Amino acid sequence: MDYLEIIFSLLILFIPLYAVVSKNLIPAYSVLLIGANPYVSAFSLVSALLIRANHLLKPKVNKSILFLFLLWFGYGLALSIKGFTITFFSELFQLFLAFSLLIYIVNYASNFRSLKLILTGLIFSGVLLASFEIIISIFNLEIRTLSYIGNNPANYSAFFLLITTIAIPLYLYKSIFLRILIGSLGFWAIYMNESRSVMVLSFVVIIMWLLKDRSFFTKILLGIVGGYIAYILFSAVVMSQIYDTSSIFSLLNYENNFSNLERLNLLFYSYDLFLAKPEGHGIGSSYSLFINNSYTIVDTYPHPHNTLAFFAVELGLIGIIIYFYLFFTLFLTAQKISNKKLKELSMCLILALAFFSIADVIFYNGILMLSSFIFIGIIFASARIKSTC
């Protein structure tokens, strides 16, 4: 365990004590989550939620999401009757903990002020993570944690940075200076994490926000961004950047790009696994199925790097239904949000979650799953807020 991970892990253990005096524990928890050991983070969250158990009773979340959770959890239990792997209990517990966190957020954030505190905490955690990532890169420090912080490039860290330093500040802050400052910091850190898919998604999120704003400054900025995109598209054609592994255009290269071909083979393997057991192999089965598989050159993949394929393998046809039903419910919920800013932010979060779910599994890794459920909780909490901002 790295010394930085030890510090964050020790600090996050104080969250249950903080929960004794304050019910607003999500901002502090999200800040410490970026560097703490995932197991320590889970223990701390369980303890804090038990202390604040009153916020878990009589959940005020949409009945559709309650039904989805019961289907997800219940079907996973039913499949275990046929047998289960050693990771079954940890994944099932992870699902229960993540959903409890979602309920807590929705029950707590009953007004814009409470939700704004959560959003501000997430922004601070993103800025802190980006700062660490940049310092680690500049000084070439050998720091590795089991969470988001570290010199090992990761899609998970990049996705968290996208939401907390680009998406949320764009819709929460009015100051152009803050938007550009925090967004630039986050974009720099995303670039250093070498996540091609999140880089593309960052441009999509920014353009999505620009199209919502009709101010003169925004039109100029949109023209600059549009011109830059046109330039890099031209460069991609002329300079054949599609074959450059560091370029975002290499996402389109399925001729000889190793990463793309490996992911494609993972999808083929997932399809064969689904055909073999359309009812699903069971929660927690992904790791044992994909490690040492014969379809890819690298034999250490714990999952198919695609959320829909992950659901199809573990939960079969029911898993596919859960995947589409989740995003359908999120979309319908966002449409009902009366607060304009929160509605636009929620649509942005749904887009980001859906897009990233294609590139990776958002419900496998512990901290990424907790982060994803925090973002989903923000969407459902926003639907309960009637005030304007």
What backbone phi and psi angles, to 5 degrees, belong to 77? -65, -40
pLDDT confidence tier of residue 322, bands split at 50, 70 and 90 = very high
Q: What is the pLDDT of residues 270-286, one digit of tens each?
A: 999 999 999 999 999 99
Whole-angstrom distance, CA of residue 377 vs CA of residue 85: 30
Name residues whose C-beta falls within 8 Å of residue 292's C-beta, 6 or more positions apart in sequence: 299
Whole-angstrom distance, CA of residue 29 vs CA of residue 319: 30
CB atoms within 10 A of CB 111: 13
Whole-angstrom distance, CA of residue 111 vs CA of residue 334: 16
Whole-angstrom distance, CA of residue 169 vs CA of residue 180: 9
For the chain, give the percent of residues with pLDDT over 90.
70
Domain boundaries, the chain: 3-382
Whole-angstrom distance, CA of residue 210 vs CA of residue 206: 6
Sign of CA dihedral 218, 223, 226, 227: negative
Output the six-digit token pair for 282.
């069971």
Output the six-digit token pair for 46.
């369980």
What backbone phi and psi angles, to 5 degrees, belong to 144? -130, 130
Q: Identity (one letter) of the amino acid at 292?
A: N
Per-residue model confidence (pLDDT) at position 238: 46
pLDDT confidence tier of residue 152, bands split at 50, 70 and 90 = confident
If you search the block for the tokens 């389109």, which residue do you land on? 252
User: Tell me, what DSSP letter sits at residue 58?
Assistant: S
Output the six-digit token pair for 363.
């419900």
Per-residue model confidence (pLDDT) at position 183: 95
If you search the block for the tokens 């100029």, which residue do you land on? 220
Which residue from 34, 68, 91 is spatially nearest to 376, judged by alpha carbons? 68
Specify the higher pLDDT residue, 218 or 167: 167
pLDDT confidence tier of residue 57, bands split at 50, 70 and 90 = confident
CB atoms within 10 A of CB 42: 20
Looking at every residue in the chain, the average pLDDT score rounds to 90
Half-sphere exposure for 377 (CA within 13 Å, toward CB): 28
> By the 8 A CB rule, do 170 and 210 touch?
no
> By the 8 A CB rule, do 254 and 260 touch?
yes
Sign of CA dihedral 156, 158, 164, 167: negative
In Å, what is the CA distance from 97 to each residue of 37, 49, 130, 222? 16, 9, 27, 41
Rounded to two decimals, the pTM is 0.92
In Å, what is the CA distance from 279 to each residue of 46, 274, 311, 316, 321? 31, 8, 11, 4, 12
Q: What is the pLDDT of residues 327-358, one digit of tens each?
A: 999 999 999 999 999 999 999 999 999 999 99
Which residue from 317, 321, 308 is spatially nearest to 360, judged by alpha carbons? 308
